[in-house]
Chain A
Amino acid sequence: MLKKSAANFTGIALALFFIFPTYWMVTSALKPKGTTITSDYDLIPFSVTFTNFVTAWTKPGFLSSLGNSLLVTLTAVVAAIVIGITAAVAMSRFAFRGRKSFLLLMLVAQMAPFEALLIPMFLMMRDLQLYEHLSSLILVYFAVTLPFCAWTLRGFVNGIPIELEEAAMVDGCGRWGAFQKVTLPLLGPGLVATSVFAFITAWNEFLFAKVLIRSQDSETLPVWLSGFQTAFGTDWGGAMAASVLFTVPALVFFLIVQRKMVAGVTAGAVKG
């Protein structure tokens, strides 16, 4: 009994440790101006205001960088998912010469150390005249997420019995019809989980966003936020409000697929 309450006590302490930065971000964002930067001990807020959110929202660059982030991330993820599905179907539903080498290539590509490819990527985008264009980031994020999407989706396609497709084909569906009417709907949850993971990867990316884009108009949100001191000075309340706005989309997606995500990342890592 004592052991159990000690465990619970540790659990609660850990929960506080993990939640605290989120708590602090939200409460700092809700504090009225002038009460954020204070020497008073203010662990618990007593008054609440939303002006910090208005400040952050109307800061020059916030909306454009939010738009850029959404554009880049969504385009890259949609492309990676569409091309990933075709590759996943080929890897999981067909037997052909070179299949094993291709699987291995996917696995290796998924582990590719993109950070170490910064210089050649930079030079390549410069040669392609894409430097300073958002399309360079779309290409990089597409490349980063594609092997992961293809590999994970392959796992999900493997999980759908091929007999279902065969039955549909016996009933007169073409191959495309069988895929569209049987496999694709069953693939739904896997598709959501995979695209959310890809979304988060691209949503977070900082190094390439910093290197490939230098003009303020095309900045993505992580780069804009990294320079928050230019925008906010010591207005920590505003900076925290911007951080909250940056977190919300990621958190919502996370909550939708949290369970699937653990399974997705470690799929293939464990026997049985």
Chain B
Amino acid sequence: MTAVETTETAAPAGDIPPALPPAVTGGAHKRRRRGSAFDRALPYLLLAPALIAILWLIGWPVVSVFVTSFRQLNLGELVRGEVVWTGIDNYVTVLQDERFWEVSLRTIVFTVSVVVASVSVGLGIALLMRVLTPWVRIALQIAMLCAWAMPILASTTVYQWMFDQNYGILNKTLVQLGFDSFAGYSWFSSGTSTLSVVGLLIIWQAIPFLAFSLYAGLVGIPRDLYEAAGIDGATGWQTFRAVTWPEIRSLLMMVTFLSTLWDFKVFAQIWVFREGGPSGESTTLPVLQYLEGIAKSHFGVAAAISVLMMVILGLITFQYLRKLLQTEEGKL
């Protein structure tokens, strides 16, 4: 941090009309107080558009979701523009609904399984990539890149085709291998089976990011540490515990947190496969929020679900930020 003092007189961000295009400017930060009023206001002018956008498009909805969760707001109230306060009724409705608990539990089990599987396989691949012959490594990287780059809706469509009941390549292959019972087998007849396919799709698409980031972290570990471990006669496992693990632990923590946040919020894949079915068995919290709020127009109840989701996500985010700020300390 440079020791520059700014005075209170600097224009508060709120005074700047959002429509005013700010002048993009770079400047030296070792200026003294004698700068003109414009100079002192400049950083605020530069920040104003971003600040206004964030407060308007993120801050306000966050406030609004809490407020809405204490209102009775169905289609009727929305059309008539009525404001009906119901206190904590929406929460009572949601929390007393057995289905909510069932869905929450399913969401957590689903998220944890997907995160554990993708992070551990991702780490395994990152470690594996170090020992691969270069051309194999490049082939693997290209293959992973293709998986990573495929838009979610494209990959979901491809998976639907691969897992197709009658003509899907998977069932045909299984039959070829002698498992005749898979002829015409439906992978989407139960919630567990549907979520397993969705989970496989998500893991398949999540691993490339995880493997590439962890590999980047592994490559950064100084070679001489391994040489030293080799001289000391450490076994492969001991080297991993003593050299690799401490170097990669914080990175691993970060990508695990990020994966948890991402996988908890999955909507598109689950919705496109069976719209949360069959008979609601693959419904997770984001799908439930959509069903209550948008499909049934129970906005108040859905907002209560959103708030509960945000509480869970908030706890995870808080932990993540704490870790991040610990390692980032002084860099801010």
Tell me the nearest residue of chain A to B313, going by C-beta.
A113
A interface: dominant SS: helix
CA distance A39 to B326 in the complex (A): 58
Q: Which residues of A are interface residues toward B (Cβ below 8 A)?
A: 3-4, 7-8, 10-12, 14-19, 21-22, 24-25, 28, 36-39, 41, 43, 82-87, 89-91, 93-97, 99-100, 102-109, 111-113, 115-124, 126, 139-140, 142-143, 146-147, 150, 162, 165-166, 169, 175-176, 178-180, 182-183, 200, 203-204, 206-207, 210-211, 221-222, 225-226, 228, 236, 239-240, 242-244, 246-247, 250-251, 253-255, 258, 262-263, 265-266, 268-272
- Is the Cβ of A39 less than 8 Å from the Cβ of B172? yes
Tell me the nearest residue of chain A to B130, going by C-beta.
A7
**Would A21 and B204 be within 8 Å (CB), given that A90-B47, A105-B54 are in contact?**
yes
CA distance A19 to B173 in the complex (A): 17
Q: Which 3 A-B pairs have the closest CB atoms?
A: A179-B26, A143-B57, A90-B46
Tell me the nearest residue of chain A to B167, going by C-beta.
A37
- Is the Cβ of B53 less than 8 Å from the Cβ of A142? yes
Query: B331 interface residue, CB < 8 Å from A?
Result: yes
- Is the Cβ of B27 less than 8 Å from the Cβ of A18? no
Q: In chain B between 1 and 49, which residues have their CB closer than 8 angstroms to a CB of chain A?
A: 1-4, 6, 8, 10, 22-29, 40, 42-44, 46-47, 49
Q: Which residues of B are interface residues toward A (Cβ below 8 A)?
A: 1-4, 6, 8, 10, 22-29, 40, 42-44, 46-47, 49-51, 53-54, 57-58, 60-62, 64-65, 68, 78, 125, 128-129, 131-133, 136-137, 139-140, 142-159, 161-162, 164, 166-167, 169, 172-173, 176, 204, 207-209, 212-213, 216-217, 220, 250-251, 254-255, 261, 265, 267-268, 271-272, 286, 289-290, 293-294, 299, 302-303, 306-307, 309-310, 313-314, 317, 320-321, 324, 327-328, 331-332
- Is the Cβ of A239 less than 8 Å from the Cβ of B204? no
User: Which residue, of A41, A143, A266, has the highest number of chain B Cβ atoms within 10 A?
Assistant: A266
- Is the Cβ of A84 less than 8 Å from the Cβ of B26? no
CA distance A111 to B314 in the complex (A): 9
The interface residues of chain A lying within 8 Å CB-to-CB of B254 are 266, 269-270
B152, B159, B250, B294: the one within 8 Å of A206 (CB): B152
- Is the Cβ of B158 less than 8 Å from the Cβ of A107? no
CA distance A89 to B267 in the complex (A): 35
- B44 vs chain A, min Cβ distance (A): 7
What are 21 A-B contacts with C-beta separation under 8 Å? A11-B128, A11-B132, A14-B128, A18-B207, A90-B46, A93-B27, A96-B6, A96-B44, A107-B321, A111-B321, A116-B307, A116-B310, A119-B293, A123-B78, A143-B54, A178-B26, A226-B271, A246-B153, A247-B150, A269-B327, A271-B250
CA distance A91 to B118 in the complex (A): 35
